[in-house]
Chains A and B, each alone.
Chain A
């Protein structure tokens, strides 16, 4: 079965750029999306179709996908961005989630 691998944790200082990676075999040939989940809340999509931002998502969120890696980049990270982030893709008639990355803003 297809697997997506994320680092368990990423730390970033306020105002700096955070990058969260998601790795999978030939992931660049598929579409990736990213969800943000704050404690006790359902996930919200922050990037879909590799690099598109839904309305209402700040411009500091961006995405890319090439080769075996999709990347979520948060520029000018704010304290409110501290959350868990999950990548997700569609493969062989199945939705696959990455294991999630906890972003700490310190």
Chain B
């Protein structure tokens, strides 16, 4: 059973960089065919895809966040990470990491972390 766990600061100051790490257990992050994703959800609102990374290092990002986002992977630690710079209050949300199966246009997240709340405030 694959397990994902987010970690990182729960409070970030405006204009600074939000940094989160997702640790994967129960399976290798290097397994082929899977994308490792970040998704966020402001309180009381819907889901927003931030982006994902393949084990080759290939990344794709939500166009609305692309200029501020970097996702990286550390296969030696079985972790992948999110950096979102120049944050504002609008970036306050629960941040989820997830594993995505992606094949022939079919994309879905089959394993999710529990989520971590990140608040942006001075």
What is the interface residue range for chain A against chain B? 20 to 34
Q: Is B47 an interface residue (CB 8 A)?
A: yes
- Docked-complex contact B48 and A97, CB < 8 angstroms: yes
Q: Which B residues, 63 to 114, have Cβ-Cβ distances below 8 Å to chain A?
A: 63-64, 96, 98, 100-102, 105-110, 112-114
Interface centre among B98, B105, B107, B110 (most CB of A within 10 A): B107
Would A94 and B108 be within 8 Å (CB), given that A42-B113, A42-B114 are in contact?
A: no
Q: Is A96 an interface residue (CB 8 A)?
A: yes
Spell out B's residues near A (CB within 8 Å): 37, 46-49, 52, 60, 62-64, 96, 98, 100-102, 105-110, 112-115
**Which secondary structure dominates where chain B touches chain A?**
strand
Would A90 and B46 be within 8 Å (CB), given that A1-B63, A42-B115, A95-B37 are in contact?
A: no
**Which secondary structure dominates where chain A touches chain B?**
strand
Give, as a whole number of angstroms, the nearest-CB distance from A31 to chain B.
Answer: 4
**Residues in B neighbouring A89, C-beta threshold 8 A:** 107
